[in-house]
């Protein structure tokens, strides 16, 4: 990984913060983020000559809607964690506390209310604050029936040492397991561009003396298809003095140099002691 640059994001709006899901435009000119307080953040960037965001030139906050068309309200309903968009702009948003997956066919800007996607029954047994941190789009753009991978942050009761994943192929769900080491917990995942379906997984840890630590791993599409317990390949791990915070959100796009560019965003937990960072890396061959 090669660090390309980043931004410290801030706002006087009291709603700003808590971003756990990120979706960057294909051309890098803007991004959507979703907050665990129940709103969308839209950013449009002023890009440097090399294509890295130099500043946010336009930003807006918009409320998340529920299937009834009303604005989501209350902590149990608004805790959005994962975000993915497809080529048409349609969006999938995963939630914890009240664990569910909503499909927004018109995307963040659409006026149509979302649809709730049926999920496996054991997802309801996830801890309230350890639910569906990530949704990954795997298949072709076939709307709400797309192939998906869902990744939880915490183990199911009685399954210490592994975070559960659920793979949906052709409408059928299959259980997989992500091995947990130390206090690292998954916070987001994304499919790398290309046909091999390799997945990047972001994990986060907090240490009282050392602060935040972050880990990035990769798992092959073949391993996901095989099922069972995954064996990830660790790509990077970092902590202080490198730029860091509660990094929870991730996306990837092909940069102007033809290489995958990785975007990481932190959740400030609405705390004055934390920051909302947007960090950009080039994934080297």
Q: How far apart are CA 61 and CA 68, in angstroms?
A: 20
Pairing, β 276-282 against β 2-9: antiparallel
Tokens 């499909």 belong to 103
The count of C-alpha atoms lying within 13 angstroms of the C-alpha of 219, restricted to the half-sphere facing its C-beta, is 22
**CA–CA distances in Å: residue 188 to residues 57, 193, 202:** 26, 16, 5
Q: Flag whether pLDDT at 24 surpasses 80.
A: yes
Please tell me the predicted confidence (pLDDT) of residue 141: 67
Q: Which residue has the higher pLDDT, 171 or 94?
A: 94
**Model confidence pLDDT, tens digit, residues 147-181:** 999 999 999 999 999 999 999 998 899 999 999 99
Q: Considering only CA atoms, which of 258, 182, 193, 250 is closest in space to residue 216?
A: 250
What integer pLDDT is reported at residue 97 of this predicted model? 92
CB 200 within 8 A of CB 250: yes
| 253 vs 97: CA distance, rounded Å | 30
**Residue written as token pair 């791993």:** 217
Neighbouring CB atoms inside 10 A of 227's CB total 13
pLDDT in tens, 25-35: 999 999 999 99
pLDDT the model gives residue 195: 63
Asked whether residue 6 carries a pLDDT value surpassing 70, the answer given is yes
**273 vs 265, which has greater pLDDT?**
265
Q: How far apart are CA 216 and CA 211, in angstroms?
A: 17
Q: What is the pLDDT of residues 108-135, one digit of tens each?
A: 988 789 999 999 999 999 998 899 999 9
List own/partner pairs for 217-221 with CB under 8 A and 24 or more apart. 218/192, 220/196, 221/138, 221/196, 221/197
pLDDT tens per residue across span 211-266: 889 999 999 999 998 999 999 999 999 988 887 889 999 999 999 999 999 999 99
- Which has the closest alpha carbon to 23: 135, 98, 129? 135
Under 8 Å between Cβ of 95 and 83: no
- Averaged pLDDT of the chain: 93
Residue 62 pLDDT level (bands cut at 50, 70, 90): very high
Tokens of 13: 């709006």
Write out pLDDT tens, residues 190-210.
Answer: 999 876 679 999 999 987 777
- What 3-state DSSP class applies to 79? coil
The upper half-sphere exposure of residue 275, i.e. CA atoms within 13 Å in the direction of its Cβ, equals 13
Sheet strands side by side (includes 91-95):
80-85, 91-95, 100-104, 115-116
- Give the Cα separation of 59 and 189 in Å (integer): 25
């Amino acid at each position: 990984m090669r660090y390309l640059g980043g931004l410290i994001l801030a706002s006087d709006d009291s709603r700003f913060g808590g971003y756990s899901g990120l979706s960057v435009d294909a051309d890098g000119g803007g991004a959507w983020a979703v907050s665990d307080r129940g709103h969308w953040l839209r950013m449009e960037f002023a890009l440097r000559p090399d294509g890295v965001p130099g500043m946010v030139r336009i930003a807006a906050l918009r409320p998340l809607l529920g299937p009834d068309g009303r604005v989501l309200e209350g902590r149990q309903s608004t805790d959005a964690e994962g975000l993915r968009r497809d080529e048409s702009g349609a969006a999938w948003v995963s939630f914890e506390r009240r664990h569910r997956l909503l499909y927004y066919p018109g995307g963040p800007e659409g006026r149509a209310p979302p649809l709730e996607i049926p999920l496996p029954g054991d997802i309801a047994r996830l801890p309230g604050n350890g639910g569906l941190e990530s949704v990954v789009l795997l298949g072709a753009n076939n709307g709400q029936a797309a192939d998906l991978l869902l990744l939880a942050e915490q183990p199911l009761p009685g399954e210490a040492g592994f975070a559960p994943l659920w793979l949906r192929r052709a409408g059928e769900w299959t259980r997989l397991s992500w091995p947990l080491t130390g206090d690292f917990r998954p916070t987001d995942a994304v499919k790398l561009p290309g046909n091999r379906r390799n997945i990047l997984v972001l994990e986060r840890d907090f240490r009282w003396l050392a602060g935040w630590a972050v880990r990035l791993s990769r798992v092959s599409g073949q391993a996901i298809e095989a099922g069972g317990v995954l064996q990830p390949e660790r790509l990077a791990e970092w902590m202080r003095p490198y730029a860091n915070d509660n990094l929870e959100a991730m996306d990837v796009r092909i940069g102007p140099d033809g290489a995958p560019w990785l975007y990481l965003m932190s959740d400030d937990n609405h705390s004055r002691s934390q920051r909302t960072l947007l960090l950009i890396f080039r994934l080297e061959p």
